[in-house]
A and B are shown apart, each in its own frame.
Chain A
Amino acid sequence: MTAAKAPPADAPPPVPSAPAVPPVRTAPARRRLTPYWLLLPGVLWLLVFFALPMVYQASTSVQTGSLEEGYTVTWHFAVYGDALAEYWPHFVRSVLYAGTATALCLLLGYPLAYLIAFRAGRWRALLLVLVIAPFFTSFLIRTLAWKTILADGGPLVEILRTVGLLEVTALLGMTEGDRVLATPLAVVTGLTYNFLPFMILPLYTSLERIDPRLHEAAGDLYARPFTAFRQVTLPLSMPGVVSGTLLTFIPASGDYVNAELLGSTDTKMVGNVIQSQFLRVLDYPTAAALSFLLMAIVLIMVTVYIRRAGTEDLL
């Protein structure tokens, strides 16, 4: 086919003749290998220092022996039963404290995330900075500060006592007497505090994506403000809720810093046991078994949760 009617091209500008380069053929085989070369170093790193250690840990857990004589794999599975029998309260505490802290994070974090996303106006950037700001001080220093804040007879504890809140928490088994420090409440307070930004940021991200007009549309369609929130805003923020709870619960369940610094011997979590078994008692098989069990429990809970929440595309 030939096109008709070329326009009069009076005085076209000099077209630079491109250098005569021989046709280059792209090597498809080489191109197919490119992603593997890009992946190789990082993936290798993760395989050797993340996946392989898991294998070593699994094998360590079924070894017997002693530090002096060395350990050998004897498929001593009884270690799991023994570990569970001895340390089940620690597992319960870990799940309970981490769960409570996660719930509190959601309860406390949602209003702040909502405030930043919809009501902050020109203060939005400043508020976001203030949420992230605590990170800049080492979390250990900040956790130690709670020792001061929750000190016996301190202003906060006195207020809680006067209002009668301490009696309520005592009934729940969270506190004892007039103390807050060295009680489960102190540990949960610390955990909640430590992981709160991990809840707020994903919540904010998913709230911020919601078109505020949706809320107005709901109002236009006869929904009262709270109904509009429950029917429109909350469902749309579910991805943030899911990733926020995961980002809070997972690290909280393995934490031992808060229990160590703010708790007592009666508030030790499974992380504390793993830490002391590995670094002080040097009972490696038990420690490895505990760690493996913790991993299994967390993975199972997370998987069930993600299935329930129906958000499998978190990444």
Chain B
Amino acid sequence: MTDSTESGDLRLTGISKTYGGSFTAVHPLDLTVPHGAFFALLGASGCGKTTTLRMIAGLEDPTTGSVLLGDRDVTRLPPYKRPVNTVFQSYALFPHLSVYENVAFGLRRRGAARVRERVGDMLDLVQLGDLAARRPHQLSGGQQQRVAVARALINHPRVLLLDEPLGALDLKLRRQMQLELKRIQTEVGITFVHVTHDQEEAMSLADTVAVMNGGRVEQLGAPAELYENPRTTFVANFLGTSNLIGADVVSAGGGEVVVTASGVRLRLPAGRCATAPGADGRLLVGIRPEKMSLVHRDEADSVPAGRNRFTGTIAAAGFIGVSTQYLIDSPLGPGVEVYVQNIERDPRLTPGAEVVVHWNPEHSFGLDAAQDINSGVETAGDPS
């Protein structure tokens, strides 16, 4: 844990944004981004992540709360007086200026010295040295993206804000630019605050991810922590895929919770329950598809004792190379997803086959049952 009072941290205290007195884009929010961190704000469109970013940039006035850089309150500073720079969504490169002049823009406005040298160095850092004379529309998407990063970074901001910086790129280029961004961030050591709706991007880049939903931070933590121990159904569903099963608590004690769902007994560690389950309460049991294993019914005996298990029928199977994704219908409900690595494929595992699904109880997690079980599930039409 980093000391939050350390100079250089970005702190948001009680910050909120309400439009027209009725629509609240961001509910009062406290957030500390340590100096030098790569921080991601993750959420679907309209969750308030971009508004939060714009309040840090000064492009939006917060309704309440304040923005602090180190010990300095910058809430009332206009954007051109804040030591914070932004990489805009779709870059917002000045179309009438060359790459060189785009990158030099901030330096010139502040009357900085050695502009030529510094722009040259910066263009080398993003590997665009030979394109300095080009206009933005003559560059590829990936090149434009690097110009946008260079244009912001050259000002040595305390915090670099990135608003969906890779959203306009195709998948392959996006992966490549993720590595590039990570390299640049490590090289310059500036705090990055990265807004994205792409959970893989957030997890692969950031040290800390804040998952936002409906103008609130649902959960904040390291990517692996968020993935393994989601505390809400939204996080469980938005970050990867989760099978969530409504269950009744049978007993709780000794570090273990036992539940039943449609007559199936399941166990899970008490330490991985987001809420303390009451002895008669309900609980949502969550399990990631890749943690589960599948055997044909004829080999049910091969499942080791002590594992959670249930019997079902394969409803659909999709081969995607690395793994095969199965949908299992069972008493627990339709469409439990199971991903099986394609190591030794059992030819009997085809739709209609009866199977036993089993997993280590340690891999289950528990969520408060009073939530929308489908919150955060991507439906057709959502941007992926």
Contacts and interface: CB of A to CB of B under 8 A. Distances in A.
Direct contact of A and B (CB under 8 A): yes
Interface of A: 1-18, 21, 23-26
B141 interface: no
Given A3-B208, A23-B77, A24-B76, A9 B32 contact: no
B32 A24 contact: no
B207 A7 contact: yes
Given A4-B208, A5-B208, A6-B207, A15 B158 contact: yes
Q: How large is the interface on B (under 10, 10 to 19, 20 to 34, 35 or more residues)?
A: 35 or more
Contacts of B82: 18
Q: Secondary structure at chain A's binding surface: helix, strand, loop or mixed? A: loop
Nearest to B75: A23
Given A4-B1, A23-B76, A26-B78, A12 B30 contact: no
Residue with the highest number of chain B CB atoms closer than 10 Å, among A2, A4, A7, A23? A2
Contact of A1 (B158, B190, B220, B222): B220
Given A3-B207, A17-B83, 12 more contacts: A2-B2, A5-B207, A5-B208, A6-B2, A7-B37, A7-B38, A7-B207, A11-B189, A15-B83, A16-B156, A21-B81, A26-B78
Contacts of B276: none
Contacts of A5: 37, 207-208, 222
14 contacts: A1-B217, A1-B220, A3-B2, A3-B32, A3-B33, A4-B208, A5-B207, A6-B35, A9-B36, A10-B189, A18-B82, A21-B77, A23-B75, A23-B76
Q: Which 6 A-B pairs have the closest CB atoms?
A: A9-B36, A12-B189, A23-B76, A9-B189, A6-B34, A3-B208
A24 B1 contact: no
A4 B37 CA distance: 9
A16 B34 contact: no
B4 interface: yes
Given A1-B31, A2-B4, A12 B220 contact: no
Contacts of B38: 7
Contacts, number: 80
B188 interface: yes
Contact of B156 (A2, A15, A25): A15
Residue with the highest number of chain B CB atoms closer than 10 Å, among A3, A8, A14? A3
B280 interface: no
Interface in B28-57: 30-39
Contacts of A4: 1-2, 207-208, 221-222
Contacts of A13: 156, 188-190
Contacts of B222: 4-5
Contacts of A2: 1-2, 4, 32, 34
Contacts of B200: none
A9 B35 CA distance: 8
A12 B153 CA distance: 13
A1 B82 CA distance: 24
B73 interface: yes
A7 B190 CA distance: 10
Nearest to A8: B36
B275 interface: no
B232 to A, nearest CB: 15
Interface in B306-342: none
A29 to B, nearest CB: 15
B186 interface: yes
Contacts of A1: 30-32, 217, 220
Contacts of B73: 23
Contacts of A14: 156
Nearest to B207: A5
Nearest to A14: B156
Nearest to A20: B72
Nearest to B84: A18
Contacts of B78: 24, 26
Contacts of A10: 189
Contacts of A25: 76
Nearest to A12: B189
Interface in B60-119: 73, 75-78, 81-83
Interface in B177-201: 186, 188-190
Contacts of A21: 77, 81
A145 to B, nearest CB: 42
Interface string B221-240: 11000000000000000000
Given A3-B37, A9-B189, A16 B207 contact: no
A112 to B, nearest CB: 31
Contact of A12 (B31, B32, B190): B190
Nearest to B76: A23
A41 to B, nearest CB: 28
Contacts of A6: 2, 34-37, 207
Nearest to A24: B78
B1 A7 contact: no
Nearest to B4: A2
Residue with the highest number of chain B CB atoms closer than 10 Å, among A8, A14, A15? A15
Nearest to A11: B189
A29 B156 CA distance: 35
A94 to B, nearest CB: 47
B77 A24 contact: yes
A173 B126 CA distance: 76
B24 to A, nearest CB: 20
Nearest to A26: B78
A3 B37 CA distance: 9
A26 B76 CA distance: 9
A177 to B, nearest CB: 62
B35 to A, nearest CB: 7
A57 B207 CA distance: 74
A12 B36 contact: yes
Contacts of A8: 36
A2 to B, nearest CB: 5
B58 to A, nearest CB: 11
Contacts of B81: 18, 21, 24
A16 B83 contact: yes
A127 B242 CA distance: 61
A16 to B, nearest CB: 6
Contacts of B75: 23
